[in-house]
């Protein structure tokens, strides 16, 4: 299936449906793990589980996305989305030397967490994001832009209706509202980094803006192993404590409730950690 859509099968991925191998994900009741010894990372003494848990996905994802921004001293990075991945991207951008990070979302507690990480924030329901970014960057645009939203981006106005309608009649698989906005907002010669997942086909990508402004695009499924050691060192040195992103700790029996509040962004939920053996 992947070959038919993408030309080649990119890889097998846990929990990414039959298109990418049909491997059950880490949250399945049982998962078969080929070459399990290769996937392990030995954690030194003195670190808590919560400090290192996110080395398995979202911390490397945010970090690789920031690395893909080609950050240079003085750079301004704008990040669409303030979900868990974006929260790590914000902190990683600062670790990599960004001078300013501007984060965009509409969920108040997510915007607050971004602010706590040092970002300036924009609520896309309250401001015109493109205009606000121009204003905040002296009319020049951010040096790098990042789409940490992906294929289920929330669109507004006519554009939002367009994507919904095309998706409903199966003429478009992905809703790339944030990506469109990011490409248009980026400064000339800037970089577009996309950690957000896309699955198939996205319409109305502003290729004219992309080409004429000479932008560079970098993306990909995260190379998690590549980042184990350097990010573990950052945690050990105290540069970052990834447990900041945890808003809920629940026993395994309350997993359905955890999924419910995460999916519907209830109870200020940003990241749930399930603790088998812990009583309710």
Ligand X SMILES: NC(=O)c1ccc[n+]([C@@H]2O[C@H](COP(=O)([O-])OP(=O)(O)OC[C@H]3O[C@@H](n4cnc5c(N)ncnc54)[C@H](O)[C@@H]3O)[C@@H](O)[C@H]2O)c1
Q: Token pair for residue 271?
A: 């990241």
CB 122 to ligand X: min, Å: 9
Residues between 195 and 224 with contacts to ligand X, criterion CB under 6 A = 195-197, 221-222
Both tokens of residue 204? 């109305």
Maximum CA pair distance of the chain? 58
Backbone angles phi, psi at 206, to 5 degrees: -75, 75
Residue 253: DSSP 8-state: G
> Does residue 254 interact with ligand X by CB under 6 A?
no
Q: Which residue is nearest to ligand X (CB)?
A: 83
- Quick one: 225 or 236, whose CB is closer to ligand X? 225
Kindly state the tokens that stand for 62. 């945010």
16, 75, 83, 186: which one contacts ligand X (CB under 6 A)? Answer: 83
Quick one: which H or E segment has residue 233?
helix 224-237
CB nearer to ligand X: pick between 11 and 278: 11
Smallest separation, CB 276 to ligand X (Å): 22
Closest residue by Cα to residue 197 from 1, 7, 15: 15
* 84 lies in the binding site for ligand X (CB under 6 A): yes
Nearest CA to 135 out of 188, 83, 76 is that of 76
- Give the nearest distance from C-beta 8 to ligand X in angstroms: 18
* Residue closer to ligand X, measured from CB, 190 or 196: 196
In this chain, which stretch among 45-53, 68-76, 189-197, 208-216 interacts with ligand X, using CB under 6 A?
Answer: 189-197
Strand (E) or helix (H) holding 40: none
Q: Which is nearer to ligand X, 129 or 232 (CB)?
A: 129
Place of tokens 């290729």: 207
Q: Is 82 in the site for ligand X (CB under 6 A)?
A: yes
User: Could you tell me the two tokens for 131?
Assistant: 């205009």
> How many other CB atoms are there within 10 angstroms of residue 225's CB atom?
11
Quick note: the x/- pattern for ligand X over 134-163, rule CB under 6 A, is --------------xxx--xx---------
Size of the site for ligand X (CB under 6 A): 28
Give the range of 45-53, 56-64, 90-98, 184-192 binding ligand X by CB under 6 A: 56-64
Among 47, 106, 134, 137, binds ligand X (CB under 6 A): 106
Binding to ligand X, residues 62-81 (CB under 6 A): 80-81
- Which residues touch 205 (CB under 8 Å, ≥6 apart)? 176, 179, 180, 183
Question: Which tokens is 231 given?
Answer: 């990010």
Inter-residue contact 218 to 89 (CB < 8 Å): no
Chain residues in the site for ligand X (CB under 6 A): 57-58, 61, 80-86, 104-107, 110, 124, 148-150, 153-154, 177-178, 195-197, 221-222
């Amino acid at each position: 299936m992947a070959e038919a859509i993408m030309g080649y099968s990119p890889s097998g991925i846990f929990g990414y449906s039959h298109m990418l191998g049909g491997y059950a994900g880490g949250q399945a009741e049982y998962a078969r793990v080929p070459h399990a010894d290769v996937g392990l990372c030995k954690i030194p003494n003195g670190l808590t589980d919560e400090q290192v848990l996110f080395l398995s996905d979202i911390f490397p994802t945010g970090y690789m996305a920031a690395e893909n921004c080609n950050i240079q001293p003085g750079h301004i990075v704008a990040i669409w989305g303030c979900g868990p991945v974006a929260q790590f991207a914000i902190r990683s951008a600062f670790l990599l030397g960004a001078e300013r990070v501007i984060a965009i979302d509409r969920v108040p507690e997510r915007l607050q967490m971004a602010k706590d990480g040092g970002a300036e924030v924009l609520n896309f329901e309250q401001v015109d994001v493109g205009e606000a970014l121009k204003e905040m960057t002296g009319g020049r645009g951010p040096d790098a832009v990042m789409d940490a939203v992906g294929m289920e981006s929330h669109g507004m106005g006519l554009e939002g209706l367009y994507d919904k309608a095309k998706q409903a009649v199966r003429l478009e698989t992905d809703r790339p509202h944030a990506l469109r906005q990011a490409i248009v907002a980026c400064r000339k010669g800037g970089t577009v980094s996309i950690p957000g997942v896309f699955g198939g086909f996205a319409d109305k990508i502003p290729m004219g803006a992309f080409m004429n402004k000479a932008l560079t695009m970098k993306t990909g499924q995260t190379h998690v192993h590549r980042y184990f050691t350097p990010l573990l060192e950052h945690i050990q040195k105290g540069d970052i404590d990834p447990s900041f992103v945890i808003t809920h700790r629940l026993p395994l029996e309350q997993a359905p409730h955890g999924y419910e509040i995460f999916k519907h962004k209830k109870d200020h939920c940003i990241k749930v950690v399930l603790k088998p053996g812990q009583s309710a």
